[in-house]
Amino acid sequence: MAVPHLTELPPTADTLENLFGPHLSAVCARTAAALEACGYGGLLVHSGSLRPIFQDDRTHPFEVNAPFKVWAPLSDVPDSFVHFVPDRPPRLLFHRPTDYWYKPAPLPQAYWTGGFEILPCADLQAARAALPEDLSHTAYLGEDFGGLAGWAGLAPNPPRLIRHLDYHRAVKTPYEVACLRAANRRGARGHRAAAQAFSAGGSEFDIELAFLAACGQREQELPYNPIIALNENGAVLHYQMLDKAVPQRRRSLLIDAGAEFAGYASDITRTYARESGDFADLIGRMDELQQTLCAAVTAGIDWREVHLRAHRLTAEVLVEADLVTCSAEEAFASGITTVFMPHGIGHLLGLEVHDVGGFARAPDGGDIERPERHPYLRLTRVLEPGFVVTMEPGLYFIDPLLAATRADRRGRLIRWSRVESLRPYGGIRIEDDLAVTTTGCENLTREAFSAERST
């Protein structure tokens, strides 16, 4: 089924309903095949449980398990289950306690519910009673919720079955791509508001509030906590603070922030300079590099080669920016590029920001190794139609890496005066989400920004 392009936010219920039926059929078919290959007759998937805070009666924020979201786009339903037996409609055991401390979630009635038998369950005991008495050939996916040991016969988290399911989850259905489009549209709207807050003089905290308001989501609804880094904070790859004070001089903003739609994540990064000059020019050059890499993405490409090409192109940028004293060839061969870009060029994206199955050689076993000297690459597979990947080249001025390099023989290859002039700006990262096709890729992020500009 062709995937209609997103023209509104969110997609219409009719569009989603038309896409979800084939999606659910595909999930049932690949799950049935995996169960047969691994010797199981059924599958029970847990949404997850609320976890208490130590010595308190409050709980940590709930995070639904991704294998549950494959089936049902529900994010706030602890202790619910999907039960699947091949050749039967899946059953949703929906946790709906009788409670006056907290408001129970209503029974779902949405575009996706027609494919399920939905049973409300007041507690775990009611959920167990709704299941077959004999669970001896049923695999279970999820954590131990405390009473799991009493559900005799379940096979908890069989590694071989998980690998089968994860391997095939890398290929997204048209429904999933539509959800990822919508997540990008929502994320692009937040990014536009964040850029405006930066231009208006906001702090990191102010910028996050602007992002959240524009997305229409609370922080706990986002796929990950936004990285909102002013100035030198942009050199911390997973910067986790939110400074409420505005720095005396605002030089740059690096914002890595995504939104969520129906359980699917966008993962978008942009970098801004406050003023024109060297750093602004470097952002422009990195944007060109990123678009060059995006243009070459298509089915059949080995992602490891994409990563290594990114480093070769980064070496050329280092030469052009006068950050190294050597040729681009030597900058690449010596590993200097890993000082300025220590992370991988991208990863699978879907129900999780760093989606599963990125290293698997085949559903039955074997991993594809990362290239030598590149231990943080999160994807090593050959791209297939339906993969959704991020493309995120970066160039950073990271003090610990620079100090280690200054102390070894590679230090002579770096023009330290140029590094010192750019260190206060932190770093650059530009990240788009790409849906791989047989003839190239669809840039979900650039299309989302373009759609937002036209509204």
Domain-embedded: residue 93? yes
> For position 272, which CATH number holds?
3.90.230.10
Whether residues 339 and 392 share a domain: the answer is yes
Maximum C-alpha span of the chain: 72
Tokens of 321: 């920016």
Whether residues 179 and 102 share a domain: the answer is no
Whether residues 128 and 179 share a domain: the answer is no
Looking at the 3D structure of the chain, how many domains does it have? 2
Whether residues 153 and 272 share a domain: the answer is no
Domain-embedded: residue 444? yes
Whether residues 93 and 179 share a domain: the answer is no
Whether residues 73 and 179 share a domain: the answer is no
Domain-embedded: residue 221? no
Going edge to edge, which strands form the sheet with 388-391? 388-391, 432-436, 441-443
Whether residues 75 and 178 share a domain: the answer is no
pTM metric for this prediction: 0.96
Q: Give pLDDT, residue 24.
A: 98
Q: Give pLDDT, residue 9.
A: 57
Domain-embedded: residue 15? no
Q: Which residues sit opposite 260 in a β-bridge?
A: 265
- Side chain identity, residue 115: G
Which residues, given as ranges, of the chain have pLDDT below 70?
1-10
Identify the domain containing residue 114 by its residue range: 41-157
Q: Give pLDDT, residue 2.
A: 43
Whether residues 135 and 178 share a domain: the answer is no
pLDDT digits (tens, 9 = 90+) for 189-211: 999 999 999 999 999 999 999 99
Which of 267, 198, 271, 205 lies closest to 241 in space, CA to CA?
Answer: 205
Domain-embedded: residue 49? yes
pLDDT digits (tens, 9 = 90+) for 217-250: 999 999 999 999 999 999 999 999 999 999 999 9
Whether residues 179 and 103 share a domain: the answer is no
Domain-embedded: residue 19? no
Whether residues 264 and 133 share a domain: the answer is no
Domain-embedded: residue 112? yes
> For position 67, which CATH number holds?
3.40.350.10
Boundary-marking domain end, from 99, 122, 157: 157
Domain-embedded: residue 36? no
Whether residues 86 and 179 share a domain: the answer is no
Whether residues 133 and 280 share a domain: the answer is no
